[in-house]
Amino acid sequence: MALKWQDFTLKGARDYQIAEAAESELVRVRDLGMRIGLLDDEILPHGHYVAKVDYMKVLERLRDRPDGKYIDVTAITPTPLGEGKSTTTMGLVQGMGLRGLNVTAAIRQPSGGPTMNIKGSAAGGGMSQCVPLTPFSLGLTGDINAVMNAHNLCTTALNARMQHEFNHDDAFLAKRGLRRLDVDPHRVNMGFVMDFTCQCLRRIIVGLGGKADGYMMESRFDIAVSSEVMAVLALASDLKDLRARLGRIIVAYDWTGKPVTAEDLDVAGAMCAWMVGAMNPNLMQTIEGQPCFVHAGPFANIAIGQSSIVADRLALKLSDYHVTESGFAADIGFEKFWNLKCRYSGLRPNAAVVVATVRALKCHGGAPVPAPGSPLPREYGVPAPELVEKGLPNLLHHVRTVRKSGISPVVCINGFVSDTREEIEIVRRACEAEGARVAVSEHWLKGGEGALELADAVKEACEDRTDFRFLYELSMPLRDRVELVAREVYGADGVDWAPEAASKLHMYQEDPVTAGYGLCMVKTHLSLSGDPMLKGVPEGFRLFVRDVLLYGGAGFVVPVVGGISLMPGMSSSPAYRQVDVDTATGRVKGLF
């Protein structure tokens, strides 16, 4: 492409300005799709540069084609600013593209909550972005909206059913083909969802008013991408599987403790109707024109945090190398990729990239924790090799976690202009002593040109012999699995249980169906422990599980660690303050 990094990143251009300049160079999405082997009727355009892909047609047509190499991108424990996994994913794909390789990426669609709050749009940054930025950041083709509508329709159906059962007798219900469900209002699993961070909605009362105003009870709002419907989208193999999983979502329990599902409410079919279009992955591109699939949602700390199985299957049939992204660090995102996504998909990775920054290593080494929206503390802008050295155990811990899966880790030092040669060499020596490949990458600054060393290291790692194995089998008791993840992945001394959490886990273990569900941990992403303030590699801590949720549609038992919430809060200096529109052209500015 004609964009020159010297004209942008060296001159302090903002991400949205670089993305805007790239739009004149973009490949039309129909041409992009055909270039990677899609047929015309498999490409469903949403404008000139974004399309849905009819995955069912493609997978049927290419069912006998061998899969390409499969690469996951994860990271060390991040600072609150993030360490650049999406940027690295885009840069790696661009670097491999410059090497002449047939390569694709899959990333998750950003939530409006982080986009308008702290983290930004998660499109990457600098010269390594997924574009066009505006549709990517502001709803894309409506998948999250479909998730919200399907979820809220289910919650609405539940409240309406409770209202009518409360106000009418069995004869009234029978005339309408309904049986009494006798929902216990104190055991309702599902609240409502919205795609913003709004802490005032974490606990609400619904149904205030009279008999016609719904059933009065306590409820809540969670952020949309934490919905079990989003997890179902990430895991479903096709529409039939999607429909079945939606029907199994446990919405509440009756007074005897029996689950009440979306199927019991006769709402699962309508939920699926909202989700039909959302099952098709979205096709976009990097700044340098490599194809990028965008599908499913973020938040590996409170959700599965993976791009969809469908998107990965599709891309592996279309390319020789496919790079997928997992949320947050290897203790959260990679652990779920490893033990959940790969288990359900049947796909086996060839390599994993662990993204590290000198900035994060300094944080784990004792530098003040950087705060979004505030100036970086002095330690991050001056040489501090002693802090980098002290922070290395966190990186090495994640490298060892990846190794436990039986695949080769590649450490990517995501370069910042403030990094010194001495600091980088400290990281390189430590990782190579651990037996990991190491590459310094300047993809943010230079795009694919800056990621060639990383591209070569990843290509080489993909040729290593792998011995992929799960951390546990699903036959292992649930309590033992939680203990194993806590000890082997987080480094905890053990697990403590709130009485209610222990009681729920025992109940799920006694049920032969739920005893075999996958384990999806909910934990802070800012520490290996459950305490976000404990940096580095904490020792002598125990994990406290305060609750256990059950996702019947996704097939997950979900232990909730510490005080983490499914509805994040809005910061005092949110990103939406910088977003505006050029009213003469209609262009959105200020996204990052």
Q: What is the pLDDT of residues 193-215, one digit of tens each?
A: 999 999 999 999 999 999 999 99
Give the least confident one: 29-33, 201-205, 586-590: 586-590
pLDDT of 15 reads 84
pLDDT of 563 reads 83
Residue 258 forms part of a structural domain: yes
pLDDT of 497 reads 98
Beta strands in 156-286 (DSSP E): 183-188, 192-194, 204-206, 217-219, 221-223, 250-254, 259-261, 282-286
Active site residue 108: yes
The domain in which residue 515 lies consists of: 478-561
End-of-domain residue from the set 251, 276, 301: 276
The predicted-structure confidence for 511-529, as pLDDT tens digits, reads as follows: 999 999 999 999 999 999 9
pLDDT of 2 reads 64
The torsion of the CA quartet 230, 233, 236, 237, rounded to 10 degrees, works out to -160
Rg (CA), the chain: 24
Active site residue 119: yes
Residue 232 forms part of a structural domain: yes
The predicted-structure confidence for 437-480, as pLDDT tens digits, reads as follows: 999 999 999 999 999 999 999 999 999 999 999 999 999 999 99
- CATH code: domain of residue 494: 3.10.410.10
**Number of CB atoms found within 10 A of residue 256's CB:** 7
pLDDT confidence tier of residue 114, bands split at 50, 70 and 90: confident
* More confident: 301 or 2: 301
Residue 198 forms part of a structural domain: yes
Distance, CA of 11 to chain centre: 32
Largest CA distance in the chain: 80
pLDDT of 535 reads 97
User: Is 70 exceeded by the pLDDT of residue 363?
Assistant: yes
The predicted-structure confidence for 58-102, as pLDDT tens digits, reads as follows: 999 999 999 999 999 999 999 988 899 999 999 999 999 999 999
End-of-domain residue from the set 215, 250, 276: 276
User: Is 70 exceeded by the pLDDT of residue 574?
Assistant: yes
Active site residue 337: no
Distance CA 14, CA 9 (A): 8
Residue 112 forms part of a structural domain: no
Active site residue 444: yes
* More confident: 573 or 227: 227
Distance CA 566, CA 191 (A): 11
Of 85, 313, 359, 481, the catalytic one is 85
Residue 249 forms part of a structural domain: yes
Residue 320 forms part of a structural domain: no
End-of-domain residue from the set 276, 298, 326: 276
Residue 355 forms part of a structural domain: no
Residue 342 forms part of a structural domain: no
Distance CA 477, CA 384 (A): 46
Number of structural domains (the chain) is 2
DSSP state at residue 118: S
Q: Are the C-beta atoms of residues 312 and 59 closer than 8 Å to each other?
A: no
pLDDT of 372 reads 78
Of 274, 444, 544, 592, the catalytic one is 444
Active site residue 274: no
The predicted-structure confidence for 395-418, as pLDDT tens digits, reads as follows: 999 999 999 999 999 999 999 989
Of 108, 313, 481, 535, the catalytic one is 108
Distance CA 176, CA 106 (A): 46
Of 105, 150, 296, 300, the catalytic one is 300
User: Is 80 exceeded by the pLDDT of residue 7?
Assistant: no
pLDDT confidence tier of residue 113, bands split at 50, 70 and 90: confident
- CATH code: domain of residue 182: 3.30.1510.10
Distance CA 342, CA 125 (A): 28
Q: pTM (2 decimals)?
A: 0.95
From the number of C-beta atoms within 10 Å of its C-beta (0-12, 13-18, 19+), residue 454 rates as buried
Q: 183 has which bridge partners?
A: 254
